[in-house]
Amino acid sequence: MITVIKADCGAGRGGRLLRILDRALEGAAFEEADAADFCGVRNGRVLFCVALSAGGPGEGYRRIMEHLVLHPDCMEGSCGGILVDGPGELFTKQVGRELAFFANQAGMDLPGKPMVEATGSLYNFRTQAKLQGVDVEEAYCLSAARLVRRLEEFRLPGPAGGGKPRILAIHASSRKTSNTLLLWQMIRERIGSRGELEEISLRNGTVVDCRGCSFQACLHFGEQADCFYGGVMVEKVYPAILRADEIMLICPNYNDAVSANINAFFNRLTALFRKNFEDFSRKRVYGLVVSGYSGGDIVAEQILDAMCLNKNFPVPGHGILTETANDPRSILKCPGIDGRADRVAARMLK
């Protein structure tokens, strides 16, 4: 049973979204709820449906967000997806990834590609429409229907073969100064021999960023688990990702963004993704974000956007831990940090 939560689908807006939703839900078992009554959904399957105005999200969306932030376990045990529809070209991606992050922070598991967004022109569906031989609205409808099926079928993946989880940690930080890497060390010690751990550093400019090969060229190299630009991504990172059950991204906040090498890592995954779309859906992604001042949510949303919304990796509930620590090793003085490290390790071993 899917709980469909509608936000701001009234007062003259949301007509297209409701029309698409009716078709996408055909044959599915579902119940409807309004955002005004939202108080979380535990151990269920949830589809958030948000209709935007030209000025952005409305009161229903704000009601959902407030409850998620104030009740950080209200989605425990649930999995969910997001459908966002807007009358213009702005806000759909911003609202969708923000909602994905805060629902995940409240305990909601996210399957790979858990969001369908529709801009006013539906221009963002042009490529899908062309590939499927349909018009843009039909491509939108088909995407929404696939999201519903994904929610019905989703189960959070465990280790291949049921043994110890194979965990890959990726970073681009200095061990002497990085609070984020020190936080990972705390978690790694708690995992110990109960997981098979592998760590790859992307420091010192070793990752050449994607330079935009043609689709055909990228597909050709991806079919061989390769990339035109080679280097550490092909030699170490691609094979490690294919081996891993879980991927931990260690991402300090650099000017309210991930570091250049981590961003290049996101971009260079495209070649591998083209052939391993389904394989990625069987690998959990986690993240650690430490900010010197503020903005951890912005960086966490980048991780979700790149790895889950775009590259099809699922993210377990509470999958990204954000902390604030500035001076070297000051992460160790954050109140309650030991308990939070314990919980991350336990989730990765669950």
Q: What does the pLDDT look like over 310-336, one tens digit per residue?
A: 999 999 999 999 999 999 999 999 999
Q: What does the pLDDT look like over 168-204, one tens digit per residue?
A: 999 998 888 899 999 999 999 999 999 999 999 998 6
The pair of structure tokens assigned to 13 is 């807006």
Which residues face 201 on adjacent strands? 171
Average pLDDT over residues 33-62: 96
CATH topology agreement for domains 2-153 and 160-349: yes
160-349 is a CATH 3.30.70.870 domain: no
Residue range 2-153 forms a domain whose CATH class is alpha beta
Q: What does the pLDDT look like over 122-176, one tens digit per residue?
A: 999 999 999 999 999 999 999 999 999 999 999 999 998 778 999 999 999 888 8
Closest CA to 202 of 290, 262, 286, 256: 262
Distance CA(245)–CA(163), nearest Å, equals 10
Give pLDDT, residue 308: 98
pTM above 0.85, yes or no: yes
Domain ranges in the chain are 2-153, 160-349
Give pLDDT, residue 281: 95
- Given a cut of 80, whether residue 343 has pLDDT beyond it is yes
